[in-house]
Structures are given as C-alpha cells and as structure tokens.
Amino acid sequence: MTLKIAFTGAGHISRVHARAAQAMTNLDLIAIVNHRSESMAEYAAQFGITRQYTAVEDLLAAGDVDILVVSTPNYLHAPQTIAALEAGLHVLVEKPMALDAAEAEAMQRAAERSGAKLMVAHCWRFDEEVNWLKRQIDAGKLGKILRTRGYGVHVNWGPGGWFVDKRYAGGGALADMGIHAIDAARYLLGDPQPASVYAKIGTDYTNYDVDDSGTIWINWDNGAISIVESGWWWPHADGPEASTQLYGTRAFGQLFPTGLEIPNREAETVATVDPGYPPAREEHCPQAMYDRQLAHFIECIREDRAPNPGAAEGLVNMRIVDAALESSRSAEVVRL
C-alpha cells in the first residue's frame, strides 16, 4: 500500500528527509507545510509536491495523509506533533523532541492515546559506524563498559537565527548538539536509564540567551558513567558530532575514528581492530544515515512495530537535558 507523507518546515533537514522519502518506493510525497510561502513553493517544486499549507491544522483539516515529518524550530515540535497524532497521523519528529521533558511527556501520551506511531529522529542510531561498534559491544568484545566520553561540539562555528533564541529553540548547544552525544552514548550502552546528572553549562563564546558550553556527567542505572561535552564556537573538540569513546573492562572502543584497542596483559601487547572506515568522512552526516532512519520508520508503520528511537528515548534525552540545566543552576547533583 502506498503511504502519503507530508513535511512541516522547508529548511535544511526537511529537505534531507524529503530526499530520503523520494528514494523509497510506495511513498507519495504529498504535502508541505511552512509559514513562509516562498521557500515552501521552492520546496514543493524541488520535490514535486502539489499540496501546500501555511499551518499544520490546514493540512490536517484537508486530510488524506498518513505520515507527518516535523522539521520545524523546536518550539513547534510538541504542538505540531500532538495535533498530527490526534488526527491519527504517524509522526517522525526532529530532535530535540521538545522544549523540555514536560512537553515530551505530553507527546508520548498523545501517541499512546492515538495509537499512531511516534519516532524521534535521533539519527546516529542509523549510522553504519555506530552500528559496527554496537555489534562489537553486544558481542562482548569490550567487556563491561565502565565509562564513555562523547562530543556534540561545533568547532569555530555556531548556528544563528531561531537556533540562538530561547523562545524558539528552548536551549542552545546542549539541546542542539549535546543531545546527539547523549543519545549516541545511551544507544551504545544498551539504553540504560539515567540515575543522576551533574553539569556545568554556560554561555562562554557568544552573547546569546542560550548555552554554548557544557560538560555533563551522567550516572546510568547499570553503573556506567558518561561524560558529554556540548558546544558551539569552541576552538577545539576531541571528536566530531556523536563521536564516543568507550572504556570497557576488556577493551577500548571508539567512534570517528572507529575501531577497538584490545590489550593482552600477559603478552603485554595491544591488538587493534580497524573496520576500515576512512578516518575522516567525506560527509560527517551522510544522506544514507537519514535514508535508513526513514526506512526504519516506514517499516515500523507497515509491520505495526514500535520504532526505536521512540517517544521513550526522546523523553529520556529531554530529562537528561533538563537535569543538566538544573544541576548547573544549583551546582548540585540532580537525581532522576
């Protein structure tokens, strides 16, 4: 059966999702919603979309659509997602899922009430190298993972516009970039629950009313800890977006560059495992990652399965972001 897919937001990531949809069979790109008609018309022409609306409510009133992909500024994620779910549409919503955990909970409840599927676009779960490393972890090659370090930092660059305005973005580099590092660590660790969070978050490189610097310490309920750095305009970062280093009892593993170091204490040697990915990727966020993400969502809809990452994963990440901001304000550990 052909499914009809609509998009809200006609910016950068929405076009990536539309390209992913175009590459799939049995998927009709049917409508675009955007508050600016000029970019909407250009988007519609690029992807051969006939129906255009300036508000999600108008799309829902017109009906005849199965799926909505929400790629608008963060403050619109919850209202647009909830309205679509209530109309029975399946929704893929961009990260951060919402402005805060309270909104994310309301989205989760709306999905439960409607029976429609809600997926959160934590895209790194669909990266080839991330999944190579995950298979090594799941096969026990690293032993028990004790500690991870991860990065969500733009070096000598930062976004502008709505991304740096608290009203529209909710938060800054932590919600924008740090959340990729948090989700990558959690996915690799097998989705443990956060037990407590300690953080120092600040605005050190700009005069925005949102954060551009953060160091976050997460204690997971399986005993592992994750240290995450988030930033915009930093002069240096120890790895690109979502790069993660994992210290296990048997071995060390890392992403970007991806590989393992397996020590042999008796022989006093270290064996390296190199899966052969290029040390610097041509495109750090490749289209193929987003293609796999959308393909997973469509498969879950067709086979009536729960998508992963679903609302629960998006919500855990929002709880960690909220706890990190609270910890930084209070200078205390926040228990979850």
Ligand X SMILES: NC(=O)c1ccc[n+]([C@@H]2O[C@H](COP(=O)([O-])OP(=O)(O)OC[C@H]3O[C@@H](n4cnc5c(N)ncnc54)[C@H](O)[C@@H]3O)[C@@H](O)[C@H]2O)c1
Q: How far is the CB of 42 from ligand X (least distance, A)?
A: 10
Q: Which is nearer to ligand X, 95 or 319 (CB)?
A: 95
Q: Which is nearer to ligand X, 23 or 195 (CB)?
A: 23
Q: How far is the CB of 192 from ligand X (least distance, A)?
A: 22
Phi-psi region of 256 (alpha: psi -120 to 50; beta: other; left: phi over 0): left
The residue behind tokens 């609509």 is 6
Whole-number Å distance between alpha carbons of 250 and 7? 45
Residue closest to ligand X (Cβ): 11
Nearest by Cα to 179 from 225, 132, 226: 226
Q: Which is nearer to ligand X, 75 or 220 (CB)?
A: 75
Q: Which is nearer to ligand X, 80 or 219 (CB)?
A: 80
Whole-number Å distance between alpha carbons of 74 and 86? 19
Q: How far is the CB of 293 from ligand X (least distance, A)?
A: 8
Nearest by Cα to 89 from 77, 80, 97: 80
Q: At 164, list the tokens.
A: 């740096």
Q: At 231, list the tokens.
A: 């930033």
Q: Which is nearer to ligand X, 152 or 192 (CB)?
A: 152
Phi, psi at residue 262, to the nearest 5°?
Answer: -115, 105
The residue behind tokens 């280093």 is 245
Q: Which residue(s) pair with 250 in the sheet?
A: none
Q: How far is the CB of 219 from ligand X (least distance, A)?
A: 26
Q: Which residue(s) pair with 51 in the sheet?
A: 31
Q: Which is nearer to ligand X, 132 or 163 (CB)?
A: 163
Nearest by Cα to 247 from 188, 180, 316, 321: 188
Q: How far is the CB of 43 from ligand X (least distance, A)?
A: 8
Q: How far is the CB of 134 from ligand X (least distance, A)?
A: 18
Nearest by Cα to 88 from 68, 109, 108, 58: 68
Residues that bind ligand X (CB under 6 A): 8-14, 33-36, 39, 71-74, 76, 94-95, 121, 123, 176, 285
Q: How far is the CB of 9 from ligand X (least distance, A)?
A: 3
Nearest by Cα to 71 from 20, 127, 129: 20
Nearest by Cα to 148 from 181, 125, 177, 122: 181
Q: How far is the CB of 99 from ligand X (least distance, A)?
A: 10
Whole-number Å distance between alpha carbons of 227 and 297? 30
Q: Which is nearer to ligand X, 251 or 291 (CB)?
A: 291
Q: Which is nearer to ligand X, 73 or 248 (CB)?
A: 73
Q: How far is the CB of 183 from ligand X (least distance, A)?
A: 10
Q: Which is nearer to ligand X, 33 or 210 (CB)?
A: 33
Output b/e per residue, 241-264; b: 16+ Cβ within 10 A.
bbbbbbbbeebbbbbbbbbbebee
